[in-house]
Structure 1
Amino acid sequence: MRDTLEMAGLEGLDQDIDRATEALLAQQRPDGHWVFELEADATIPAEYILLRQHLAEPDAPELEAKIGRYLRRIQGADGGWPLFHAGAMDLSASVKAYFALKMIGDDPAAAHMARARAAILALGGAGRANVFTRILLALYGELPWGKVPTIPVEMVLLPRWFPVHLSRMSYWARTVLVPLLVLQALRVRARNPRGVRIPELFTDAPPQGPKPRSHKHPGWALFFNVLDRGLKLVEPLWPRRTRRRAIDWCRDFVTERLNGEDGLGAIYPAMANAVMMYDALGYPEDHPDRAIARRSVEKLLVIREDEAYCQPCVSPVWDTALTAHAMMEVGGVAAAEAAAKGLAWLKPLQELEVKGDWAVQRPDVRPGGWAFQYRNAHYPDLDDTAVVVMAMDRARRQCDAGRDYDEAIDRGVEWTVGLQSKGGGWGAFDADNEHHYLNNIPFADHGALLDPPTADVSARCISMLAQLGEPADSPRLVRARDYLLRGQEADGSWFGRWGVNYIYGTWSALSALGAIGMTTADAPVKAAVDWLLAIQNPDGGWGEDCDSYSLDYRGYQPARSTASQTAWALLGLMAVGAGEEPAVARGIAWLQANQRDDGLWRQDAYTGGGFPRVFYLRYHGYPLFFPLWALARYRNLKRGNAPRMALGM
């Protein structure tokens, strides 16, 4: 009787998997790739409006109206704008959103503007905003440049051994900072042809300074704050020739990494800063460098019938590789062909020629990674590379791809291994990017100036090596395993840097530990499994709020169940042999019950990480391919169809 009921349940599961698969197949692009929207908060759409006015570009009333509707819709009930869906207001995002709406013509007396203004003033006003917001305000003349931390453009000429050097910062910090140094050195002023100002967002009382940040070390913070005051005094005395040479260096740095229509660093803040830098240096609109930099920004727009917003970047490599994994988990002719088409699209995107900034630390390593975006040759990342390599290895096992992927896999592994940090883990873009004292400089109030090794990226690299047959006792895998185990929290979970949060980190770690042969018989795995079982929601799903990145470290914060986080928890449990736990069946049932008529899942929650506490992401693809992956893996386990599964994912 039980077998009959189980078979009936699997038949229903087959139907749900088929519906989700068909829906995802319909979203594959003709050339084979998948790309889904990548949404952040109000900051970047607002900055896009202000960029156009900074450059005095022709009016675009229809586009502005659509962005305005988007900004009004995501305004929070408290009057401000949050960093993630249903979160508390963020002062800096709210200042930019208010400024943008006023710029496009919203009446400051309108109810939504009055509520926003009151909320901003209640938090101390625009003078208390973060550094990047204060820089924008300085560009518009709303704040004097003296209220912005000073980083002399001449710093780019310092030798590499100097404690504050670009090579010691993360890739995103380098690409954002270099053009910004030029804007600061030239004291650029936005054109602002409409003459819109926001004095009403400042309080009469002098600014009290930003709130203390948990990443700050009192001694280092005091040192760098004193240094900042000294730099402000001596800045007017810098020799003009030296300043000119430094500005030229910045221009050359940006131009070398311009990256065509995919943009500097392929991230909006760097791309927008590059456009403003070229403008400040007198480049006309039709100059090839400025023109292509400007076009790169336009490619980030998502324009719908009623609304529009600007993405922080795009994620086609990540989306395609992960969807290919889900398709290979599903199996069958149509899914296998779609996965093969996606991998064929990915293969030529491997960077085999350019030695990017990562080569400063690893000059003897050959290129071989994949980037997150369509193109970003100077900045491939370890996470994407590991996931792509595992997908290609899986394809050659399952789909008789033969030698088609052998060279790509070998080069990807070579590059990944070459960027292992000394402590055994991997960062996202660089090796040994762990100069934590730099997070104390006033410019780094976001606490995200560095790219140190993280549990989630390291777990992906471990999974890749294990799937490719690396012996569990090899020195590099032992160092990586030990790094991962050292990072386990007391409650059994792992912190998730690039996904929210402990559920993401724990899924990643369990996948890696399962790949190297660890099971619930091993204490670290059992503790992690017990933690996942303990935080399952009563409805059978899993959820976690972005507040788990809180400043006072409260750890995991429960939230309503989401499709992506439920899938992560299920995949983590199944990776270490806990697939027979009743909690897994309940989680699968939650996914089935919450599948929409179109075969997919809806998720408004932000479950992607940009910078913890500062910047979160809503990957529109996460509630699509991860639940399908989990359902298919569950079915495969139930039917004993292990060959379809990748060891590491």
Structure 2
Amino acid sequence: PFHPFRNLARTKCIEWIIRHQDADGIWGGIQPPTIYSLMALHHEGYRLDHPVLARCFHALDTHWSHEVDGCIYIHASESPVWDTLLSVMAQLDCGLEPGGSDSMYRAIHWLMDRFVEAPGDWQVYVRGVQTGAWAFERANTWYPDVDDTAVALTVLARIRRFMKDSSAIDRAMSIATGWIEAMQCSNGGWAAFDRDNDSRLVTRIPFCDFGEALDPPSVDVTAHVLEAFGLMGRGMDDPVVARAIQYVKNEQEPEGSWFGRWGVNHIYGTAAVLPALEAVGEDMSSQYCIRAGDWIAAHQNTDGGWGESCGSYMDDSLRGKGESTASQTGWALMALLALKADKYRKAVDEGVRWLLDRQKKDGTWDEPQYTGTGFPGYGIGKRTNLEKAAEELDQGAELARGFMINYNMYRHYFPLMALGRARKWLWR
């Protein structure tokens, strides 16, 4: 058959792939596009020792893999920016200040070095806006995300007063704030990587059978933006904040919880929202806030902790139910602590006791469970009608189309945040 534009199309594809390689040699900061890019380039005649491929193999041989029992495991992704931000936040919640910790200053300088000002694919939907954001990974400049950027603003807003010269931080915060505002979706919420990237047409492609093809707004990302803006002095009367709060209210489940897009699941979503509402000055005795707190309290396990199975993404009856974990107990505690309500004092006491009783001698916690969410496997990137989804998606509670994550640091910094905040409230 005659294909006059095939060679041109292949050339354009190769150019795009090479142009989008991260500085460390990976693509998109995640394993699937990296593997597919290697396969595509090798199929097009690129030798394994070609500089583009060699750079990728070097990354896979170093910081993108680890050895266990003589076997090499390639990471699905990496999260140094995310982990560093949340580790600093945990230290701040526990009352530590940069003056007494050189490591905190070093962490902030490291984070500032990863401030992304290069162009990215988000500009397909958002034009004429200055880049200023953070990515999840160490070198992913093409795809910075709103979630990391919002948490970065939260950390920097809390720590800037300790810096002798905060001019670089102030500049980054100003640019990042403008970037986030430009990324607000038409319904008032924020997605992770794009604005209004929610057309379901692409999900109808027959081979669209893994993960998420779309990036619609999510409550947890929106909540992190609200929390950041609140700490920067913006409140309920701010039009950007008001639109986001209305989106959050619209997304609340009838029983009071919120869906968690990037963490398991309704415990994560609800725990993101309540501290955010407190930060922007919401009346935490409002009915919708108390309904959320009641939902959290009602799902406390008999051992005092909280847990939620990944299966809750395919079975509504599993919402808020599962073996207690350190990270999910930390989330639940932070949700209740944001309400500042004495009615939850017993639940808070028992949750704190659960964490203290299970803390190891070295100060850490164990957590074999997966509490991080990459892709629920819906294809559309947001909560869905599970009665229909079970038939259409061909996956059950095992999440065959999904991608769940065991973050090695979640079990440490989230409990520390909760304990630090609990100490402040209990000692008030």
TM, length-normalised to structure 1: 0.60
1:620 has 2:408 as partner = yes
Offset at residue 555 of structure 1 (A):
5.3
Q: Report SS of the residue matched to 1:264.
A: coil
Cα distance in structure 2, aligned partners of 1:402 and 1:437: 46
| Deviation of the 1:240 alpha carbon | 2.9
The Cα of 1:332 is off from its aligned counterpart by 3.6
In structure 2, the CA distance between the partners of 1:401 and 1:560, relative to structure 1 (3 Å rule), is farther
1:293 paired residue number:
56
Residue type of the partner of 1:536?
A: Q
Residues 45-124 of structure 1: pairs in structure 2 closer than 5 A: none
1:537 aligns with 2:301: yes
Taking the aligned partners of 1:516 and 1:429, their CA distance within structure 2 comes to: 24
Cα distance in 1 for partners of 2:4, 2:58 equals: 33
Off by >4 Å, runs of 4+ in structure 1: 333-336, 398-401
Conservation of the 8 A alpha-carbon contact between 2:267 and 2:320: no
Residue aligning to 1:431: 195
State the match for 1:271 in structure 2. Answer: 34
Q: Cα deviations across residues 316-340 of structure 1 (Å, max 9, x unaligned)?
A: 0000000000111122457643222
- Residues 388 and 490 of structure 1: is their aligned pair in 2 closer, same or farther, counting only changes over 3 Å? same
Do 1:274 and 1:293's aligned partners in 2 also have CA atoms closer than 8 Å?
no
**Contact 1:493-1:506 at 8 Å conserved across structures:** yes
Instruction: Pick from 60, 72, 79 the counterpart of residue 315 of structure 1.
Output: 79
Query: Which one has the largest radius of gyration?
Result: 1
Residue type at the aligned position of 2:300: Q
- Counterpart-to-counterpart distance in 1, 2:87 and 2:414: 8
Tell me the secondary structure at the aligned position of residue 373 of structure 2: strand
Alignment of 1:561 onto 2:320: no
Confirm or deny: 8 A CA contact 1:260 1:293 kept in the other structure.
no
CA gap 1:556/1:620 in 2 versus in 1, 3 angstroms: same
Partner of 1:474: 238
- 3-state secondary structure, aligned to 2:207: helix
Write the mapping of 1:324-403 to structure 2, written as runs, cut at 5 A: 324-332=88-96, 336-352=101-117, 354-397=118-161, 402-403=166-167
Q: Distance in 2 between matches of 1:400 and 1:628?
A: 27
2:184 match? 420
Distance 1:337 1:638 in 2: 29
Q: 1:340 to 1:619 in 2, by over 3 A?
A: same
The aligned counterpart of 2:422 is 634
RMSD of aligned Cα (Å): 1.7
Q: Which residue of 1 aligns with 2:389?
A: none
| Offset, 1:459 | 0.7
**Which letter maps to 2:404?**
Y
2:16 counterpart residue number: 253
Aligned partner letter, 1:609: T
In the alignment, which of 318, 339, 355 is matched to residue 591 of structure 1?
355
Deviation string, structure 1 residues 560-585 (Cα, Å, up to 9, x no partner): 11000000000111122237621001
CA distance in structure 2 between the partners assigned to 1:451 and 1:280 by the alignment = 30
Is the partner of 2:374 in helix, strand or coil? strand
* Residues 309, 318 of structure 2: 8 Å contact kept: no
Higher relative contact order (CA 8 A, sep 6+): 1
Q: Distance in 2 between matches of 1:406 and 1:418?
A: 19
Q: Distance in 2 between matches of 1:430 and 1:333?
A: 35
TM normalised by structure 2 equals 0.90
- Corresponding residue number in structure 2 for 1:602: 366
SS at match of 1:303: strand
Question: Is residue 2:313 matched to residue 1:549?
Answer: yes
Q: Is the counterpart of residue 495 in structure 1 residue 259 in structure 2? A: yes
- Contact 1:496 1:505 survives alignment (8 Å): yes
Equivalent residue, structure 2, for 1:504: 268
CA contact (8 A) 2:330 2:418 kept: yes
Distance in 2, matches of 1:346 and 1:332, equals 18
Matches within 5 A, 1:118-267: 237=1, 239-267=2-30
Q: What do the CA deviations read for 1:407-429 (whole angstroms, capped 9, x no partner)?
A: 11111111111111111011110
**Paired AA for residue 15 in structure 2:** D
1:488 to partner: Cα distance: 0.3
Corresponding residue number in structure 1 for 2:386: none
1:447 deviates by 5.8
Equivalent AA in structure 2 for residue 565 of structure 1? Q
Unmatched 5+ residue regions in structure 1? 1-236, 641-649
In 2: Cα distance, 1:436 partner to 1:576 partner? 37
Kept in 1, the 8 Å contact 2:266–2:320? The answer is no
State, as a whole percentage, how many aligned pairs show the same letter.
37
* Aligned CA distance change for structure 1 residues 517 and 457 (closer, same or farther; 3 Å): same
